[in-house]
Amino acid sequence: MVAGRTSGTESGDSPSEGPRKIRAADLLRPAFRRSIWSTYDHIGLLVIANLLWLALCIPVVTAPAATAGLFRLARQISSREEVSLRHFFEGFKEHFVAALKLGIVDLAAVLVLWINVDFYSHLRGGATVPGMILAAAMIWVAVFYWLMHVHLFALLVNGDSSLRQLLRKSALLTLDNLGFTFGIAFQSLALSALCLVTGAGLVLINASAVAVLLVSGHDEVRRRYHSWEPAPPDETRTLRDLWRPWESGGPGK
């Protein structure tokens, strides 16, 4: 269950009522369906963007901005607006500094948590049990921080450039939507596993498809707090339309 606890989690939020109480599954289903078909509809563009993302990850320092570019492209696709590779480069340029700061924080968090887990897990004597408890606590902190990334880059490309605000809002969204966050993180891992099995999918589409999924999911969560925002048309296409696309009326037919 998704339990509403706080209001105004997103930037500019000032609703008179708290977020609506909605089951996680009711958010996950439409987000996943819409993301799969959005990826299908823009497969060529997303493959090119994925290859660009991989190339820009090689220098490492440009990897966070490349990820922001990918999410900017996904945001445009999710909004059902005109989209081109230009939006990838716009996101890369506009969010370069903010994404780099986030990348540095990510690296520092990984190092600190790794060192702490390693230190506490190697305590001996009377400190063995307390050490194992503290190591387990650090692992759960690491899991929570990883789950925050379900929301981080979607918030970034929505205009939240302050690192403090990004971390605060992603933490609140994660806490307030734990079921959904776990669910969409699992979907992302399953999608990546499928791409890994295919081999080529990992190189050609994995990161792009995950970005579209997370942005689609973020849109569903936003409507919990922005109840006045119109919902996108329901995606009514089925697997049949994958093999007989000429019989489909397109998105949302």
Given this model, what pLDDT does residue 5 score?
40
60: left (phi over 0), alpha (psi -120 to 50) or beta: left
Given this model, what pLDDT does residue 231 score?
64
- Residue 243's pLDDT band, with cuts at 50, 70 and 90, is low
- Is the pLDDT at 247 greater than 80? The verdict is no
- In tens, the pLDDT along 148-203 reads 999 999 999 988 778 999 999 999 999 999 999 999 999 999 999 999 998 889 89
DSSP H helix total and E strand total for the chain: 11, 0
- Is the pLDDT at 85 greater than 50? The verdict is yes
CA 205 to chain centre: 15
- Please state whether the predicted TM-score (pTM) of the whole model is above 0.75: yes
Given this model, what pLDDT does residue 22 score?
76
Q: Where are the domains of the chain?
A: 24-232
